Chain A
Amino acid sequence: MHSPMRLSQPCPKRRSDGVLRTVALMGTFVTIHVVGHVVGHEGELGQTVQREEAVDRAFEWFCRVEECCTRFEPNSEVMLLANQVGVPVQVSTILYEAVRFALAVAEESDGAFDPTVGYAMETRGFNREYRTGKTIRSTLDSSRSVNYRDVRLDADAKRITLLRPLIFDLGAVAKGLAVDLAARELQPFKDFAIDAGGDLYLGGCNPDGEPWSIGIRHPRSDHELIDALRISNRAVCTSGDYERRAPAEEHGHHILDPRMGSSADAAASVTVIAPNAMLADALATAAFVLGPAEGIQLFDRLGVDGLIISPGLDRHATRGMSDYH
């Protein structure tokens, strides 16, 4: 279940001719970092061009996923779906797979994670496009409460049928998915890091030839770390009650308990280590709502590792977490 994190042979040391870029995307900052060539292999310098191109393509994946899944653009694929009730609608592979996965996590977490909270999020004030600052206000044909059971999928035709008008909030899943697609694009280079505002995928080793060293932010102290991990070929995602406050609620933040309709308060921070970022991000969100006890159970059942910091700052970790220190 837990593959060994420590590499038996250290990675060779790298020269600093890699690529490092940061771009404002998906409401946050996305950094892609491809490590340079191996010392003693100067012949590989020609790879610099290939790295640049691969990083271009990796960023394109972010754009493509954002385009399909954003709630902040009235004409995005996901927003056009919102009022198409009772009609099977053919959607792109990206949207279909994102929704299918989100529904599977909803089922697995018994609704603690629910992708159908888009309209609720919008009314709580998460309605502002990050690039232009424009706010969006959608009109649903009915504002009856909805949940993940109000969606039907047709796997063969890649069609989605809504049983009620609803807006998907694919924030967590889409960002993770984009990270994973970018990671796949960069796979040939082995050693790279993708940071989507704190959602990470770490390939291979850092420029020092060691597994990437990843700090976990302290949920209550801005410039402090609550843990530091060694990660290679894994995604690390953290959900927290800090960073994004709900404009419409006094103490609210950006993670909604779909079952209660208010901000979740069972945890201060949840970090998940998983084979891919889509899973890590979705499970971090689910565990944030479930709280430490049920959250750790969920991780154990699904075979991922995680660290949950309770509101009182107690640490709850899966057994496998010790492998990453």
Chain B
Amino acid sequence: MDKSTLLLLAIVLAVFGLSIAAGHPAWGTFTGLAIILLAAGLAAGALPLQSQDYFEERIGPSQRISNGLITLSSAAIVAIYAAGYHRTSSAAHKFDLQIPQQRISATVAGVPPVAKSGIDAAPPLSPSVAPAIKKNNKRPSAPPRKAGPSTGSDSIGAPRAASAPKTTNPQAGDAARPAAAAQVRYKDGVYLGLGSCRHGDIEASVTIQDGKIALVAISQCLTRYSCGWIAPKTPGGGFPDLPSQVVERQNPKVDYVSGATESSYAFADAVIAALSKATE
């Protein structure tokens, strides 16, 4: 018998008991009282159980979290790492199939300061749309790295292998994108653009091949950062062009500085400037 039934029965008994005690002097007050007592007993059996449940529901989870945020975060990292790229991206793929008609309408608009046409037309650089499969055969201006690392990384990385399933995803999204995006073609070539932030200037080089962005890289930086930058989300999908550098200490006093996240909009500005030249 579940608790709510028990409670209901107790209430019915209590009412019955009261009516006997009040309305049937012949049966006597004692019988009535006895029935009320029985009802109280039943209720006592039911109520504490319920309040215990209530306690667990309301207090329990928060209490568990309180003791376990460190555990929870560590477990999450282990779970994701163990699942690896392959499983997570195939799950993402499944997710994409679930919603062929995505309802979120997102428009991509130009940013005022730079030539509008250039931005509206910019094909997304994100790997979810980039043809990751072209990875090895379509990397225009990229001088292949030393043989050792590049061959090795392809065979070793479960991570690498897994970027492939993603390539089939974006149909749903592409449909929602403004039609103009697909039509504007850039002129082939390599274009440079400059972006600035208070840490200094960045020069980006954008390589256009077959009317599309093939590679975005930092060609020069005059900031306090080292010059190994590149936008990794190239059609290559990887980091083939990043020069490995001899380790240099950034600062004689401290190794690194922790602070509020520094944004890399200067990089975006440089890319936009380069793209605007490609459409002129």
Contact = CB atoms under 8 A, between A and B. Distances in A.
A binds B: yes
Contacts, number: 362
Given A75-B172, A181-B81, A24 B231 contact: yes
A320 interface: no
A134 B122 contact: yes
Contact of B258 (A129, A207, A216): A216
Contact of A20 (B70, B247, B263): B247
Interface in A1-37: 16-25, 27-29, 31, 33, 35-36
B177 to A, nearest CB: 8
A74 B233 contact: no
Interface string B162-184: 11001001101100110000000
B87 interface: yes
B109 A135 contact: yes
Contacts of A53: 149, 152-153, 156-157
Contacts of A83: 102-104
Nearest to B155: A53
B76 A137 contact: no
B26 interface: no
B48 interface: no
A25 B105 CA distance: 25
B92 A60 contact: no
A240 B159 contact: no
A225 B122 CA distance: 40
Interface string B200-217: 000000000000000010
Interface stretch (B8-16, B34-42, B61-69): B61-69
Given A67-B166, A195-B256, A79 B106 contact: yes
Q: Does more than half of chain A's interface fall in helix, strand or loop, or is it mixed?
A: mixed
Contacts of B244: 19-21, 52, 55
Contacts of B251: 215
Contacts of B269: 133
Interface in B194-246: 198, 216, 218, 225-226, 228-233, 237-239, 242-246
B95 interface: yes
Interface residues on A, range: 35 or more
B30 interface: no
Given A29-B225, A53-B156, A236-B258, A131 B247 contact: no
A298 B128 CA distance: 38
B77 A63 contact: no
Interface string B133-152: 00000000000000011001
Interface stretch (A143-151, A258-266, A272-280): A272-280
Contacts of B107: 136-137
A289 B257 CA distance: 22
A122 B62 CA distance: 30
6 contacts: A27-B261, A76-B128, A107-B62, A137-B107, A202-B255, A217-B259
Given A23-B230, A56-B160, A200-B256, 10 more contacts: A20-B245, A60-B160, A73-B128, A77-B92, A79-B106, A90-B94, A104-B72, A238-B258, A239-B260, A254-B261
Which 8 A/B pairs are nearest by Cβ-Cβ distance?
Answer: A240-B260, A75-B173, A217-B259, A74-B106, A97-B76, A215-B254, A133-B268, A60-B159
